[in-house]
Amino acid sequence: MSPRGAGPDQPKPPAPGKPPVVGVEKVTCACGHEADLPLFDDRRDRLYRDVRRKKLAAGPCPDCRRQAHAELTARQQAEAARRKAARPAPPAPKQKASQPPAGRLPDGSEFRVTYDAAAERWVGTLTVPTPEGGKAFEGEAGAVFRLLGLLDRRYRAWLAAQATPSAGGAAGGSGGAGG
């Protein structure tokens, strides 16, 4: 084939549209550091060199500008993270507030409620079947639903007490067994 002559040592040609840099001038920036002001061919640069020099001197040097930018970015990220953390979590799905306690009344349970107009009270009983023949819970309340709930809770309290073995209970008789 035809090997090209361009070796790695060849000087880089100037980028198209940009004049070649003929020198560098040190300019003191607003931050106090020195920065390089590239100088171009006098004929092309005479008008703009002073403008560029003033512009460079008016602001921070490239290093400081980079650092300021990095600090600004870090600050914005920290701020965003803080805002995200401060945002209240989405509310958890609400449990139904008036859910009755788990478990249903036994089969054949009976509410018997009567309204006493003079007293403006509901009076009633809840009877649940038991092996012993039934257990009644009595109560009264101003509202019928409140009364039903009250009787229901009384039944459940009793049920819980049944499940808990009583400490002081003495079972069985002592005495002369034998025979």
Q: How far is CA 86 from CA 20, 119, 150, in A?
A: 54, 54, 43
Distance of CA 31 to the CA centre of its chain: 42
Per rule CB under 5 A, is residue 148 in the interface with Zn ion? no
CB of 55 to Zn ion, least distance (A): 15
Per rule CB under 5 A, is residue 27 in the interface with Zn ion? no
Binding window for Zn ion (CB under 5 A); candidates: 56-64, 73-81, 94-102, 151-159: 56-64
| Residues 147/116, Cβ–Cβ less than 8 Å | no
**Contacting Zn ion (CB under 5 A), which of 64, 123, 141, 148?**
64
**Contacting Zn ion (CB under 5 A), which of 61, 126, 147, 150?**
61
Beta strand residue intervals within the chain, DSSP E: 21-28, 34-40, 110-116, 121-128, 135-141
Per rule CB under 5 A, is residue 56 in the interface with Zn ion? no
Q: List contacts with Zn ion (CB under 5 A).
A: 31, 33, 61, 64
